[in-house]
Amino acid sequence: MNATASRLSSALVSTAAALLMTVGASAQAQELKPVSPQLGVYAGGTAGIGVTNGLCTAPCSNNTFAGKIFGGKRLTPGLAAEVNLLMFGETERVNNQATINAGGTAKETVRSRAITLGINWEVELIQDFTNQIRVGWAFVNQKKRLLSGNNVEVQADRRLNAPYIGAGIAFRLNRDIKLLSSADFVINGHEGMYLFGIGASAEF
């Protein structure tokens, strides 16, 4: 009986050892499995607040929803060529009756968007945090609507080109996903436009 128990015990020990070796080998194989290389292409978006008050003939109300979508291709680990679509939202000004009677407009609405081409330079601050600096050129499209006191609408659209700069902080959640906070500026004197937002990006 003791001999049988001894044989059973030995068999159990051998089986357990074999299972542990198999699990260990499997885990090691997973650790050694090569990670597929990234293409160095990324895309993302932010949502936040746009400021374009300088485009109105007088101070306008706060902008409605503003944000951006963007994509880029890495040239080096810290430098990328990037394109942005900046949406500064819509702002309006409604004049009082005295202004209308004096020949002024009853309502003024401005909506601005810009496409930017430039570079994104990333500098690692601490582990998983990077500073992003953007420099480029913006192609701006502004749609202005002027409504007279007689309900006659006049369009005053225009296009312009201007320098563009941006800055932000990125936090890496994992290899592919980052959380972002950013500020973007189209420099055009007192008609400059600003966009502040938070969002995320994915890299492939």
pLDDT tens across 155-179, in order?
888 899 999 999 999 999 999 999 9
Q: Where are the domains of the chain?
A: 1-33, 37-203
Whole-angstrom Cα distance, residue 22 to residue 13?
14
pLDDT tens across 92-116, in order?
888 888 877 777 788 888 899 999 9
Whole-angstrom Cα distance, residue 183 to residue 167?
5
Answer for the pair 42, 201: CB distance below 8 angstroms, yes or no.
Answer: yes
Whole-angstrom Cα distance, residue 144 to residue 73?
34
- Would you put residue 40 in left (φ > 0), alpha (ψ -120 to 50) or beta? left
Q: Which CATH class is domain 37-203?
A: mainly beta
Question: pTM for the complete prediction?
Answer: 0.77
